[in-house]
Amino acid sequence: MNITRENIDELNAVLKIDIAKEDYTEKVQKVLKDYRKSANIPGFRKGHVPMGLVQKQYGKAILVDEVNKLLQENLQKYLTEEKLDVLGNPLPKDQGDLNWESDDYSFEFELGLAPKFEVDLKPKKAIKNYKIIVDDEMIENQIKTIQKQFGKLTNKQEVAAGDEVSGSFVNEEEGFEKKTTFEVDKLKGKANTSAFVGAKVDDVVTISTKGLFKEAGDYRSFLGLSEEEAKEKNLEVSFKIEEVNNRVAADLDQDLFDKLYGPGVISSVTELKEKIKEEGEGQFKQQSDQQLLNDVTEALIENTEFDLPAEFLKKWIQRSGEKELTVEQAEEEYARSEKGLRYQLIEGKVIADNKLQITFEEIKAFAKEMIKAQMAQYGQTDPADEELEGIAARILSNQDEVKRLSEQLMNKKLLDFFKENVKLEEKEVTFDTFVKEVYN
């Protein structure tokens, strides 16, 4: 067998694999002998079928199968030994009808080669690293929410501002019905609020879904529609008031503090505020870290220039699926996936150049820390290492879980690396400012 490579350019090559008769004869003959032992052909005892008949009936199929096995095995071996960094998979060139009556065969494969490039981790413009703070207004709002959550409900017959009403939004023509409970203060506009204030249990209020609530998230929570859907449909809905309750806020006393954090953990409003700030900023850190990872990704893609074997990749996309795509469909798919492919190459180089690869032991340790954190949420603050090992072993026996944990750990490694090596500019913002800057 002989394998030769012709480099068309830096990103494209053609492999030619020549297979001679002596490369496959022994394997083909062995399979034919095995077939002869088990062949069940009328007129002959099992194991006594003439080899010529076995050859005639099965010879070509076995030849094709063995040559293809030999081809794939040596193709992959060559790519590994030559350390060729290829994109996609080798594509067999169309060679017309191959003459299987011949003794020797030649096959050609197109290769798309990964580009050579360097990654500049020091962009001219620093990347914003948001630090989201919990301001006094957010703390006060959270305290009010806690007081309501742990407060006492008083049943009423008539709706007043600040009350909670229960019932169902209904539009019979559209077949729309949503049972819900919401605070009157969450309604948007004087007209909507006035429709409820003063109404009594069993009264029916008629309103429109468009512009019904102050906050976008409340549409989904209380109406079952997004804000855009509620605006677009603009349904006229009836709401029969089934129950009215006034929630009396809980006192900010030791009893409430103990319910929130356990006996004696905090003992004053000042400590409660500090705790809320600490927890809130801890939660916001996940969002700011994810945004930093997104921003660094975008910057690296924008600032790292290299060419791709585009025509090869389009052809590979066209042929690689269960169903072959049209040229136009392959073009569209390539356009959608090019950016992601570029980042995969950049990320792979950053990982390789900086030895950020992860080991199974690191994955196991990461899994145990996650298990420990989850157990702490349920009051198990000091689990035995044997217990953690057992749970981790069960999780890591699932390949999908291993893949998921590996991706999370690699993201963490990359994030830590970027924080140390990329030019960043820390910006302290409130959550509202963060949302405006990032999502608007």
Are 30 and 88 within one domain? yes
Label residue 244 exposed, middle or buried (CB < 10 Å: 0-12, 13-18, 19+).
buried
Q: How confident is the model at residue 380 (pLDDT cuts 50, 70, 90)?
A: confident
Whether 234 and 275 map to the same domain: the answer is no
- On whether residue 318 sits in a domain, the answer given is yes
For the chain, the average pLDDT equals 91
**Total domains present in the chain:** 3
Q: How far apart are CA 58 and CA 413, in angstroms?
A: 55
CA 320 to chain centroid, in Å, comes to 22
Q: Which of 94-103, 396-405, 419-428 has the lowest mean pLDDT?
A: 94-103
Q: Are residues 188 and 56 in the same domain?
A: no
Asked if 244 and 278 sit in the same domain, the reply is no
CATH value at residue 99: 3.30.70.1050
What pLDDT sits at residue 255? Answer: 94
Residue-wise pLDDT for 185-231, tens only, equals 999 999 999 999 999 999 999 999 999 999 988 999 999 999 999 99
Residues 144/147/152/153 CA torsion (nearest 10 deg): 30
Strand-strand pairing, 164-171 and 176-183: antiparallel
Which structure tokens are listed for 356? 């950020």
Q: Is the per-residue pLDDT at 117 higher than 90? A: yes
Name the region of 425 (left: φ>0; alpha: ψ -120 to 50; beta: rest): beta
| Co-location of 422 and 282 in the same domain | yes
Query: DSSP string covering 247-309, please?
Result: EEPPPSSHHHHHHHH-TTS--SHHHHHHHHHHHHHHHHHHHHHHHHHHHHHHHHHHH------
**d(C-alpha 172, C-alpha 237), whole Å:** 9
What is the pLDDT, as a whole number, of residue 439?
83
pLDDT at 46: 73
The model's pLDDT over 131-165, given as tens digits with 9 standing for 90+, comes to 999 999 999 999 998 998 899 989 999 999 989 99
Domain of 294, in residue numbers: 271-439
